[in-house]
Structure 1
Amino acid sequence: KLNCSCGCGSNKVSQSALDQLQKVRDEFGKAMVVRSGYRCEKHPSEARKEKPGQHFNGVAFDIACNNGFDRLRLVEIARKHGARGIGIAKTFVHLDWREGLPVMWTY
């Protein structure tokens, strides 16, 4: 699901971020389901923000992941491949290749 899911179908994913995500997937060694990639400014999750987020910038992906061990492993591999934004939820991991200081959070 790299295209915006609001219905517009836009896809402005950064090729560089996609290349990094592929490296993560290769090392992870398992299929990775992207639940959310690019989001346009009209996407409900972006529209309520004060300023556009990393999905709008085309450098963020939410990866489905229900297993705690897999979440930890995914985070370790993503950090190794330059992910600078990492959010951990019960059913997914947010990974992004933003500029600036690295950040990590939980949902």
Structure 2
Amino acid sequence: MDFDGTAAVFKALGDVHRLKALHFLATADAGCCSTGQGICTCDVQEWLGLSQATTSHHMKILVDTGFVTAEKRGRWTYYTLSERGLQVAGTALQALLVHVPVARQAAV
């Protein structure tokens, strides 16, 4: 297991703004400036209520950890969800879950 990479993935999930950004990308409707090929930075920024620089910082972390892909078009970047970060997190949790005693699993 790549402990450093896995820790980075969970660290990315440990921020409320990044969780909100992921949720927004997953649930954004056609009312935003989405072209069907990603969600524009301006929409993410508006949803989060953060400055452009802070939004870009959070999105870069999500891109670097594989939760999101980014495509630059003109002056804007468009984001889409990616499976890689979710797979890393899920695999790490599954690897731990198999070691939980059966009686405790039932209580969860």
Q: TM-score, normalised by structure 2?
A: 0.31
Structure with higher Rg: it is: 2
- Higher strand share goes to which structure? 1
- Higher helix share goes to which structure? 2
